[in-house]
């Protein structure tokens, strides 16, 4: 039960426009079927006010009247409270701009002061039940940097969606069945025999990373060494060989540790094998056959019928030898997820899997569900560079920089923030030297430094017996510097930014917002450090400014929290004092 009494300023403005449009429809000025998306925007130039709307340009089309005339009609139909709005103006060629009174912006900060750790929450995404599945890397090797990007995106998105009132559960799907697990087991077996001096043929497509040898060496030393003396396939199903299970379990544990180091956790770890244990994979295949969405070919294989006129051909779900493909268990998995009652299944995939999307959607449709419940967010590749030079990542050879190495070298906060500073669906370059640099080149420290700086001010004030006051309307009158009014407005934008990031599934908007907000603060701080300090002999201004910077700190912490980045109370100066080690 959120104590949200007041709507955000932006939400109010949207309502004012919407009501005006409705009124014009009632009066017959606009046709009843006039439909617009009420996109209000933030004007680039300050003189245009706080919110702008190009509605008259769209009205002009249907009304067949000049935009200026439409704008007059729109303005005439708007009823806005005088104590909240300073001006509603027409601007050529067809804008209506709204300037909100500083008092109205300031009123929104009451929520920040009363519940700093909840500010930005809304009901924008209420009613949705989302299952967010991400990473889901095979437990056949350590995570690489690309997985890390998906992990950070998913984790931040979950936090942002929850802030927007959406019920979210996060899940990691473990491919612990099949060829790849069998290949892992064979790789371990072969490496172990090498260690023991036994003849061994390493599988052609085996996993060549050094970790396989480490696992094999441990097994050879332990009580399982007898398995090395007999043929791999003598032990039963190749993906259930003790080595396959042991290696997968160990790699999965490592994956969890690596994600933990990055601050990413999951509500649920879902095993592919559990689908088989419950009979859901053959069950799904049988249902597809029964419904005519799959058929048996001449060789006895079962193929999923893609149907339609698409260029996408039918796909094998069960091979002629009776072994189901990964596609079969993916179908069963998504059906199972849908059966759990979510309104939306959001998957984060590497962009190299984009060709898989039509298949999964078709599979969902085959079970009679709306394929639009499946929403796939693609994460593009990460190119690692060091000082501008690309770090080669040979997947085949197993020679690649692991996620863990990057996190250990750069630190989780910088990794997360730099990933989230880019739109997910675009390739990005990740420069290790830049990420590691604790200088102004690195945006994450810029934001964190702002937070620490405010904390420092509040500590100083506390030492003088001063604390940020509770909200009251009269504090506003002491905040008249243009930078102060701008910060109040920026703070008021935050809930809208979070809601928009949630709706669009784009956490990077929060990161950019934080850069904006903290820039305003740094600028303000430096400009007035000699003239209009936060803590001064003027008690009235001091109280108001302590209130303001408290809110800045709270929103920085909150925003960083939505990205999973720490908001430190103080930061060590690198190179400022002693040289440690």
Partner RNA sequence: GGGCGAUUAGCUCAGUUGGAUAGAGCGUUGGUCUCCGGAACCAAAGGCCGUGGGUUCGAAUCCCGCAUCGCCCA
Cα–Cα distance, 118 to 155 (Å, whole number): 18
Q: Which is nearer to RNA, 118 or 533 (CB)?
A: 533
Task: Report the nearest approach of RNA to the CB of residue 188 (Å).
Answer: 25
Q: Which is nearer to RNA, 235 or 376 (CB)?
A: 376
Q: Which is nearer to RNA, 337 or 422 (CB)?
A: 422
Q: Which is nearer to RNA, 70 or 262 (CB)?
A: 70
- The three-state (H, E, C) secondary structure of 189-200, written as one string: HHHHHHHHCCCC
Q: Are 219 and 225 in contact (CB under 8 A)?
A: yes
The angle subtended at Cα 238 by Cα 196 and Cα 211, nearest 5°, is: 50
Tokens 């931040």 found at: 156
Q: Which is nearer to RNA, 143 or 215 (CB)?
A: 143
Task: Report the nearest approach of RNA to the CB of residue 456 (Å).
Answer: 3
Pick from 551, 550, 251, 527: which is nearest to 402 by CA? 251
Tokens 């984060």 found at: 348
Task: Report the nearest approach of RNA to the CB of residue 419 (Å).
Answer: 11
Task: Report the nearest approach of RNA to the CB of residue 366 (Å).
Answer: 20
Find the Cα–Cα–Cα–Cα dihedral 223, 229, 230, 235, rounded to 10°.
20
Cα–Cα distance, 290 to 295 (Å, whole number): 9
Mutual angle of helices 210-221 and 242-261, in 10-degree steps: 120
Task: Report the nearest approach of RNA to the CB of residue 580 (Å).
Answer: 12
Q: Are 568 and 560 in contact (CB under 8 A)?
A: no
Q: Which is nearer to RNA, 34 or 449 (CB)?
A: 449
Cα–Cα distance, 330 to 281 (Å, whole number): 9
Residue 497 has a CB neighbour count (10 Å cut-off) of: 22
DSSP conformation class of 471: P
Task: Report the nearest approach of RNA to the CB of residue 529 (Å).
Answer: 4
Q: Which is nearer to RNA, 93 or 292 (CB)?
A: 93
Q: Which is nearer to RNA, 200 or 384 (CB)?
A: 384
Task: Report the nearest approach of RNA to the CB of residue 193 (Å).
Answer: 31
Task: Report the nearest approach of RNA to the CB of residue 434 (Å).
Answer: 7
**CA end-to-end span of the chain:** 51
Task: Report the nearest approach of RNA to the CB of residue 157 (Å).
Answer: 15
Residue 387 contacts by C-beta under 8 Å, 6 or more apart in sequence? Answer: 431, 433
Helices (H), 367-481: 403-410, 412-420, 432-436, 443-463
How far is the CA of 165 from the CAs of 70, 75, 129, 247, 555, in angstroms?
A: 37, 33, 10, 40, 18
Residue 420 contacts by C-beta under 8 Å, 6 or more apart in sequence? Answer: 152, 153, 156, 507, 508, 510, 511, 563
Q: Which is nearer to RNA, 226 or 464 (CB)?
A: 464
Q: Which is nearer to RNA, 195 or 497 (CB)?
A: 497
Task: Report the nearest approach of RNA to the CB of residue 565 (Å).
Answer: 14
């Amino acid at each position: 039960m959120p104590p949200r009494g007041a709507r955000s300023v932006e939400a109010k403005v949207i309502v004012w426009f919407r009501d005006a449009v409705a009124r014009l429809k009632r009066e017959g000025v606009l046709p009843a079927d006039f439909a617009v998306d009420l996109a209000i925007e933030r004007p680039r130039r300050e003189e245009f006010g706080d919110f702008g709307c190009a509605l008259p340009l769209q009205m002009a089309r249907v009304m067949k009247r000049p935009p200026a005339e439409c704008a007059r009609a729109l303005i005439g139909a708007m009823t806005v409270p005088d104590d909240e709005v300073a001006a509603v103006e027409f601007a050529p060629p067809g804008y209506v701009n709204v300037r909100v009174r500083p008092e109205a912006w300031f009123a929104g900060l009451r929520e920040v002061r009363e519940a700093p750790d909840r500010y930005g929450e809304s009901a924008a995404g209420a009613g949705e039940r989302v299952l967010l599945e991400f990473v889901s890397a095979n437990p056949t090797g350590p995570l690489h940097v690309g997985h890390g990007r998906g992990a950070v995106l998913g984790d931040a998105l979950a936090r942002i969606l929850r802030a927007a009132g959406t019920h979210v559960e996060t899940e990691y799907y473990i491919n612990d069945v099949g060829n790849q697990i069998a290949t892992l087991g064979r790789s371990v077996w072969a490496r172990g025999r090498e260690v023991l001096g036994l003849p061994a043929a390493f599988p052609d497509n085996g996993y060549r990373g050094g970790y396989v040898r480490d696992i094999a060496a441990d097994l050879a030393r332990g009580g399982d060494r007898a398995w090395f003396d007999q043929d791999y396939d003598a032990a039963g199903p190749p993906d259930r060989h003790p080595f396959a299970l042991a290696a997968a379990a160990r790699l999965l544990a490592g994956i969890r540790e690596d994600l933990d180091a990055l601050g990413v956790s999951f509500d649920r770890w879902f095993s592919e094998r559990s689908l088989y244990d419950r009979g859901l994979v053959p069950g799904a295949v049988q249902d597809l056959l029964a419904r005519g969405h799959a058929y048996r070919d001449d060789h006895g294989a079962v193929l999923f019928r893609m149907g339609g006129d698409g260029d996408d051909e039918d796909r094998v779900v069960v091979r002629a030898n009776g072994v189901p493909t990964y596609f079969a268990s993916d179908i069963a998995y998504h059906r199972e997820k849908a059966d759990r009652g979510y309104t939306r299944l959001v998957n984060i995939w590497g962009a190299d899997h984009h060709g898989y999307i039509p298949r999964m959607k078709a599979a969902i449709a085959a079970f009679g569900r709306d394929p639009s419940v499946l929403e796939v967010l693609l994460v593009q590749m990460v190119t690692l560079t060091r000082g501008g030079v690309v770090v080669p990542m040979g997947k085949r050879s197993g020679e690649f920089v692991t996620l863990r190495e990057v996190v250990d070298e750069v630190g989780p906060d910088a990794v997360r923030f730099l990933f989230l500073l880019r739109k997910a669906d675009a390739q990005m370059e990740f420069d290790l030297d830049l990420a590691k640099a604790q200088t102004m080149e690195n945006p994450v420290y810029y934001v964190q430094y702002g937070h620490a700086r405010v904390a420092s001010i509040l500590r100083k004030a506390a030492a003088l017996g001063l604390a940020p006051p509770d909200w009251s309307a009269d504090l506003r009158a002491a905040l008249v510097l243009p930078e102060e009014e701008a910060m109040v407005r920026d703070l008021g934008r935050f809930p809208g930014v979070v809601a928009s990031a949630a709706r669009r599934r784009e956490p990077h908007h929060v990161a950019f917002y934080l850069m904006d907000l903290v820039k305003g603060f740094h600028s303000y701080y430096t400009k007035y450090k000699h003239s209009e300090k936060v803590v001064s002999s003027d008690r009235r201004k001091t109280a108001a400014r302590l209130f303001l910077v408290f809110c800045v700190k709270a929103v920085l912490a909150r925003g960083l929290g939505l990205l999973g980045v720490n908001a430190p109370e103080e930061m060590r100066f690198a190179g400022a004092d002693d040289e440690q080690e």
